[in-house]
């Protein structure tokens, strides 16, 4: 039994098979290939968002940092949990790609921002003058860095605060699908219907080799993303190999099946640990 990170896990065989099939002949580069077009349509269908703009990158850090850099200006603030992945595990990538935007750390419970603390910080910053950095965006992680799950009501409570102050909302969905199957809701209900403007739709933590999708539900927020992705060296020339992974992921509900399997294994582990003297499950 191995309790290491999901980063240590293998790639699903169907994903490897998809890469092998894609490795045949020639295809247009830089996302102009047929597989990328097919993946874009599939993601739009899944999210019930026909106007969404979809961009593939290889890494979750790139997905988060580039998405947030498109939402804010260098003199703005991004509000997130004190222990958010963008704070603790991305080596300043958000600050780097945004040109200096600051992360404002909000009090949390199991990495879920406390709505009252978020509102207080946003209102404080909104009342400051031109000497101070301005409110820019809110970033939420689902599932959180502590394995906790935001309910749909909890998501809406946070996005409502952002809406009250005209702030766009980013969702770090590295483990998006685990949350989705646990809640039993649709991708749309957990994103744009809940007030999310852009999601980092993860795959690497759920059986892919190296493919994530940045999905903008409001195209206005994505105006500079293609340039930012290229300038950051995250636009693959042989883009079809990212698309091939994501296409296999989304075919025949593989993405959902893998998340259900992972959640079931976690539930079995929790059940076993709960019977051990001195062990208390926190959520």
200-236 tens-digit pLDDT: 999 999 999 999 999 999 999 999 999 999 999 999 9
Look at residue 163 in the predicted model and tell me its pLDDT: 98
The model's pTM:
0.96
Domain boundaries, the chain: 8-274
Per DSSP, the residues of the chain read ---S-GGGSPPPHHHHHHHHHHSSS---STT-SHHHHHHHHHHHHHTT-TT-EEEEES-HHHHHHHHHHHH--TTEEEEEETT-HHHHSSTTHHHHHHTS-EEEEEPEETTEEPHHHHHHHHHHHHTS-TTSPEEEEEEEESS-TTS----HHHHHHHHHHHHHTT--EEEEETTHHHHHHHHT--TTTTTGGGT-SEEEE--GGGT-SS-EEEEESSGGGGTTHHHHHHHTT---SSTHHHHHHHHHHHGGGHHHHHHHHHHHHHHHHHHHHHTSTT-----
Q: Which CATH architecture has domain 8-274?
A: 3-Layer(aba) Sandwich (3.40)
For residue 2, pLDDT over 80 is answered with: no
Q: What percent of the chain has pLDDT over 70?
A: 100
Q: For the chain, give the mean pLDDT.
A: 97
Look at residue 3 in the predicted model and tell me its pLDDT: 76
For residue 244, pLDDT over 80 is answered with: yes
For residue 142, pLDDT over 80 is answered with: yes
């Amino acid at each position: 039994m191995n309790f290491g990170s999901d980063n240590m896990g293998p790639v699903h065989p169907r994903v490897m098979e998809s890469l092998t099939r894609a490795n045949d002949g020639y295809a247009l580069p830089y996302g102009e290939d047929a597989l990328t077009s097919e993946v874009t349509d599939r993601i739009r269908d899944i999210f019930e968002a026909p106007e969404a703009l979809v961009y593939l990158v290889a890494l979750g850090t790139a997905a988060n940092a580039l998405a947030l850099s498109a939402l804010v200006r260098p003199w703005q603030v991004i509000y997130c949990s004190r222990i958010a992945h963008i704070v603790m595990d991305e080596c300043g990538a958000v600050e780097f790609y945004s040109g200096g935007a600051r992360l404002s750390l909000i009090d949390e419970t199991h990495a879920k921002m406390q709505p009252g603390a978020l509102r207080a910080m946003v209102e404080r910053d909104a009342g400051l003058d031109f000497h101070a950095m301005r409110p820019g965006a809110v970033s939420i992680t689902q599932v959180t860095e502590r394995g906790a799950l935001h309910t749909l009501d909890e998501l809406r409570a946070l996005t409502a605060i952002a809406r009250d102050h005209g702030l766009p909302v980013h969702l770090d969905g590295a483990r998006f699908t685990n949350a989705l199957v646990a809640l039993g809701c649709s991708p749309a209900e957990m994103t744009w219907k809940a007030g999310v403007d852009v999601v980092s739709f993860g795959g690497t933590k759920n059986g892919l080799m190296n493919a994530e999708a940045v999905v903008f539900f409001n195209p206005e927020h994505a105006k500079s993303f293609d340039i930012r992705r290229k300038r950051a060296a995250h636009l693959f020339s042989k883009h079809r190999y990212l698309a091939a992974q994501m296409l296999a992921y989304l075919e025949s509900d593989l993405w959902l099946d893998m998340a259900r399997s992972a959640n079931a294994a976690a539930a079995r582990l929790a059940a076993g640990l709960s019977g051990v003297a001195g062990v208390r499950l926190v959520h």
